[in-house]
Amino acid sequence: MAEKPEPTSGGSGRNPQDTDGGVPNLTVAMDGEELDATMGVMERMVEPANMREAYRRVKRNAGAPGVDGMTVDELGAHLRQHWPTIREKLRQGSYVPQPVKRVEIPKPGGKGVRLLGIPTVSDRLIQQALHQVLSPVFDPQFSEHSYGFRPGRSAQQAVVAAREYVAEGRRWVVDMDLEKFFDRVNHDVLMERVARRVSDRRVLRLIRRYLTAGILCAGVLEVPRQGTPQGGPLSPLLSNILLDDLDKELERREHAFCRYADDCNVYVHSRRAGERLLASLERYLEGKLHLKVNGTKSAVDRPWNRSFLGYSMTWHKRPRLRVSREAVKRLRDKVNKEMRRGRGRSVGATIESLKPLLRGWHAYFRLAEVKNVFEQLDGWLRRKLRCILWRQWKRPSTRAARLRARGLNEATVRASAGNGRGPWWNAGATHMNVAFPKRYFDRLGLYSFVDALVPAS
């Protein structure tokens, strides 16, 4: 929807209760100011066009309420009433963020949990607006080897770059994992790096307040001394600002590397060079950035023995990308969880619930050049669905009737319906494959990785 023009003549303009394409009218708090080169960062942040865009993104991203219980749908009404006051506090440098809500998300593979801090929707709006102003200031200075949380960059680009480094002859990788990175960020070190390019003291004070905002966990308020909570729009940018020093150090040493957030791989020509580099980087990170390398997860190894952003590669001189074993296992775990959640549903309903997961997973791994994993997953999915059917039938008489209805001959029906084998065995047996072939599931709309394959560009 096209935006309505701002009032250009005298008078008070639109009523503060008006909206612009569903976006609360934030212009009323600006006293007629326009964005120009003389504005401080804070004035740029609260400028109406920037706030409207921040509001749209917060609405589009949705998300859970924070500690105040306010939902994204309630944000508009809240802003119409309170935005002038919030804006004034921001401009005066007196705004104090609310605590974040602690949420635990299981890590892939079930190994521990990832701690998220969910800001209130009002604070998400302010963080998003600040991100939109600061990103153009910092992003152009970031390394070309940094791919995470940056406009126009993606994990797939990092994976392709990694493959090219190996193809050039760098057939050893320093796979470096930072231990609890987001929980260990040193506030003073981070703020010193933000202050290199931001002189507006109000903005620096606001960022530090977001870093030290309390964390509400099980009714207890904790005040962090280090770390930047994952879950807010500003955290990814702050992580890139801090780790840009690592990028610049690796560039100074003329290394070939790819970094996506705190996941960094450096490609070298020999194991000995990799081991020297890993030891050197451990000293650098602890001394300069107060960060610690996770010794149990970091390693110097062949690239085809490691995974990077869910991908691995083959050992060939010109490596081919493949889906890592860990990524396949995570998908299987998610499918199993979704199927358990939907016990009692029809197979068609189960297929519909799986579609977004399967499409999204395949879209991410579209660059994989080793295709057999997709064939195996297609067969596994169909077997899982046949297993559901067998379980639902329960009685041998019901199974016999169903198999008979699917056109199997009487001898096969009698031998199969009461064979005493378990559901998984029967789901892979000939009688179920003949009764429910691939075309049956195609008609129900099951997403097929093989059918969706297109040549990688």
Mean pLDDT, residues 175-191: 92
Torsion angle in degrees (nearest 10) through CA of 230, 232, 237, 240: 0
Q: Is the pLDDT of residue 144 over 90?
A: yes
Q: What is the pLDDT of residues 197-220, one digit of tens each?
A: 999 999 999 999 999 887 877 777
Q: Work out the mean pLDDT of the chain and round it to a whole number.
A: 88
Residue 454: pLDDT band by 50, 70, 90 thresholds? low
- What confidence score (pLDDT) does residue 455 get? 52
For the ranges 231-235, 366-370, 375-379, the lowest mean pLDDT is seen at 231-235
Q: What is the pLDDT of residues 221-255, one digit of tens each?
A: 777 778 887 888 999 999 999 999 999 999 999 99
Question: What is the bridge-based pairing of β-strands 23-24 and 19-20?
Answer: antiparallel
What CA–CA distance (Å, rounded) separates 141 from 300? 29
Q: What is the pLDDT of residues 278-324, one digit of tens each?
A: 999 999 999 999 999 999 999 999 999 999 999 999 999 999 999 99
Token look-up 């004070």 returns 205
Two tokens at 330? Answer: 């995570």
Token look-up 């080793």 returns 370
- What confidence score (pLDDT) does residue 112 get? 67
Instruction: Give the predicted TM-score (pTM) of the model.
Output: 0.83
